[in-house]
Structure 1
């Protein structure tokens, strides 16, 4: 039997607010356990929640960027379940009236661009975290995360492969990071993705039984987990078994999924409107005022980089994946109007150094101005391209100017024609046989003669000038 894979994705994106969703506690990552808590996020009796305005604003901006309809009237609900990291016994979320609905984004699939529909995006608070230390018999609870504002974004079941799911997740993450509403850090849990998938016989319209996958903190693991689960479900169905609706964890060490619990339905959570929070009424004018704050998003910026700068689409996509890289590129191009050259340096030498240093393009010690000073030296022939690449790590770490590093290392390129002419003439006198061979049509010996000139000049001769002079001399 041939099966079609049907995938939907839920993403929990932590919003970049300074305080929690319903209280004033900080959301800083990595603080000592239970040091960022108060009666509200601890669920103590009598503590009342207050909505974080900044979280609502971020949700609206995200919804507009995701082409959603923003609900002018929405309300919070209690999602009831018991777990040790949920001290209230319920999670404040949104159910019947989410803040964002009916959106979409475009992703790149195997057949080109594809529109993935977003069913809803709603605000909710995060739960705490159970801590299971190796070598201990019990578990502990850290409630620093409890109450952290999340935007849960849910797609329709529009994805048909692991690659499409990863493409969607990368595109969504890029958008949220461009908006600066989420830092996208998967390792710290700021961007948590939970694919759910099912199989159905090819050509059938009815959906199969879906399985939700959790505990995935990288795009590579998303791909691996989905592909494993597709193989597992295919085997079960081909052997006459039935897929159970359940939640499964991705076991990285074993490279397989394992049952966590049976999958709950909405009615299992007994949703009801939170009596401590009034309905949230958003005026249309207020919503529209945020549309102007949505920046040019990655997809549109990619298209513009291709049309405006003449870049290959692969270059444009890589440059626009991060707002920091795209901004750096455009600032540099304004100073040095050679887009492809700038693209090569930004994607190559600069990206390598930024990653190795653990920094960012926004804080790069090589500013666009410093990079352009080096590129100008290459263009003018003051330094060779090879030498420029060799000194770039020093430019990145030393704080010295490109001119200073070139001078200290004695890498200034010889481009003076009179000086080079003497070296070329000397080389031709010492290698008459090769000179004759070139004149007889053996073009390949030119490389040998260029090499001899470079050797005689201790590598400082301008290769372009050397080629030009040799051809001129040999054509006489």
Structure 2
């Protein structure tokens, strides 16, 4: 309650202005300027050569597929492709940068403009894309010790030279929640396109945030701080919420915000000062002399445009229109392309889209999330889930039995039909057999029967439960319920009339 009150008071005084810089590693087989493998997880420093180690005299050669992936992303975001772009050297010293400069792009990036629409309260906020450019990734430092007090550090240059796409938004975001949602939607687009795997824990998708505060109603931007080291949507949201509170406290106490780079410490849940923020002139940009300017032909751009898949926003809308499922279901089911493909195959085959969405979202994703598995690793294929839903729809098994069968399918990989046959789980729909079970339950529980006939309707739930127990969960609930009510009302043979 105290935090909510503090946030509410803050919103009446200050407006947060947030822009995100997202770095996405591209899914090319080789690095951007050499032929070394770009695969993740190899032994340290085993995927290096004179080019990505910055040896004197080594010359870069541009990876065509990396440019193709960057153009594909730019088109998906609605960006304008620059007619002629070029690479620059961005000079700075850091232990994981072997050349002491990074090949990047400066005043002539690959693409400009574009946008992503993000839900904001009861409306939609359009977050514009400022620029999209290509660069090389740096190595990875491994610290022994704490974040700020490492005993020593090791460097792995396997990541050095992996193609990295940087997507910089305009400062159009206003809340931590909007920032996290923008990042979710951008990640979904990148994964749909197949240009990035979106794995934030492995560092293939990284996010830096620039955040400043200004008085409510003011158009002038405040002094910004850059927040780094955020490796999940939750951390982005938490880091920005903390930083907004920190800056508000400084301003309320009459202090001034310093333009700096801060690290997010997820363990302590706070931001820590790292270094003063550099300006463009600090990097001493100049054109990369070993790479010629790049001009993508209109024909090539159109060839790439023709390969664009149906993207998450369009697929969400189509799922709502074609399958009649709620917006929430559509948003969950289109979070990744494999998940959307899985659901759509089940929805079409089962012919009950809402039933399919319930089982995919609740049962299947529940088990997969618990095990930390992706939909592509599901032990139940779409056809397997469809077969289970078909048994449920036909009344062959009850909903309760279906969940038991699903669990065994997930654990064993067996088909629904085989499990039902092996364990004799077919639902009892035969009225004579169900009538016999109803009579046994009524005879065994005269008290609840009398209570029901006196008007205590809740006794019916107890009796239905006893029927399901007596039938070991195999009684057809609808038929059993109808027979029970008829018997209690004296409409069945042998009843009171």
Distance 1:35 1:152 in 2: 26
Q: Residue 425 of structure 1: CA displacement?
A: 4.1
Contact 1:366 1:396 in 2 (8 A): yes
Q: Residue 411 of structure 1: CA displacement?
A: 2.3
Partner of 2:401: 387
Q: Residue 343 of structure 1: CA displacement?
A: 0.5
> What is the aligned length?
476
SS at match of 1:209: coil
Partner of 2:187: 173
Question: Do the aligned partners of residues 381 and 200 (structure 1) sit closer, same or farther apart at CA in structure 2, a change above 3 Å counting?
Answer: same
Partner of 1:421: 435
Partner of 1:10: 21
Work out which of the residue numbers 170, 174, 180 in structure 2 matches 1:160. 174
Stretches of structure 1 that go unaligned for 5 or more consecutive residues are: none
Partner of 1:125: 136
Structure 1 position 227 matched with structure 2 position 241:
yes
SS at match of 1:73: coil
The Cα offsets for residues 165-211 of structure 1, whole Å up to 9 and x where unpaired, read as 11111111111011111111111111100000111111111111110
Structure 1 position 330 matched with structure 2 position 344:
yes
Contact 1:75 1:98 in 2 (8 A): yes
The Cα offsets for residues 291-345 of structure 1, whole Å up to 9 and x where unpaired, read as 1211111111111111111111111111111111111000001110111111111
Q: Residue 433 of structure 1: CA displacement?
A: 7.2
Q: Residue 225 of structure 1: CA displacement?
A: 1.1
Question: Do the aligned partners of residues 441 and 228 (structure 1) sit closer, same or farther apart at CA in structure 2, a change above 3 Å counting?
Answer: closer
Distance 1:112 1:196 in 2: 23
Structure 1 position 207 matched with structure 2 position 215:
no
Larger mean Cα displacement after TM superposition, 424-433 or 365-374? 424-433
SS at match of 1:215: strand
Q: Residue 359 of structure 1: CA displacement?
A: 2.9
Partner of 2:153: 139
TM-score, length of structure 2 as denominator length: 0.91
Structure 1 position 308 matched with structure 2 position 322:
yes
Larger mean Cα displacement after TM superposition, 28-37 or 62-71? 28-37
Work out which of the residue numbers 259, 281, 288 in structure 2 matches 1:274. 288
Contact 1:127 1:143 in 2 (8 A): yes
Larger mean Cα displacement after TM superposition, 442-451 or 164-173? 442-451
Distance 1:90 1:140 in 2: 20
Distance 2:292 2:107 in 1: 14
Contact 1:305 1:311 in 2 (8 A): yes
Distance 2:158 2:313 in 1: 36
Contact 2:401 2:473 in 1 (8 A): no
Question: Do the aligned partners of residues 78 and 404 (structure 1) sit closer, same or farther apart at CA in structure 2, a change above 3 Å counting?
Answer: same
1:64-463 mapped onto 2 (5 Å cutoff): 64-134=75-145, 137-428=151-442, 443-463=457-477
Larger mean Cα displacement after TM superposition, 224-233 or 396-405? 396-405
SS at match of 1:74: coil
The Cα offsets for residues 22-81 of structure 1, whole Å up to 9 and x where unpaired, read as 000011112111111101111111111011011001001100111100112111111111
Distance 2:473 2:155 in 1: 64
Distance 2:44 2:118 in 1: 39
Contact 2:400 2:473 in 1 (8 A): no
Distance 1:343 1:313 in 2: 12
Partner of 1:52: 63
Distance 1:240 1:166 in 2: 30
TM-score, length of structure 1 as denominator length: 0.95
SS at match of 1:387: helix
Distance 2:269 2:436 in 1: 66
Q: Residue 441 of structure 1: CA displacement?
A: 5.6
Contact 1:439 1:475 in 2 (8 A): no
Q: Residue 442 of structure 1: CA displacement?
A: 5.1
Distance 1:434 1:146 in 2: 74
Question: Do the aligned partners of residues 455 and 132 (structure 1) sit closer, same or farther apart at CA in structure 2, a change above 3 Å counting?
Answer: closer
SS at match of 1:207: coil
Stretches of structure 2 that go unaligned for 5 or more consecutive residues are: 1-11, 492-497
Q: Residue 139 of structure 1: CA displacement?
A: 2.6
Q: Residue 379 of structure 1: CA displacement?
A: 1.7
SS at match of 2:144: coil
Distance 2:69 2:220 in 1: 36
SS at match of 1:362: helix
SS at match of 1:281: coil
Larger mean Cα displacement after TM superposition, 286-295 or 331-340? 286-295
Partner of 2:47: 36
Contact 1:109 1:167 in 2 (8 A): no
Contact 2:145 2:152 in 1 (8 A): no
Larger mean Cα displacement after TM superposition, 393-402 or 195-204? 393-402
Q: Residue 437 of structure 1: CA displacement?
A: 6.2
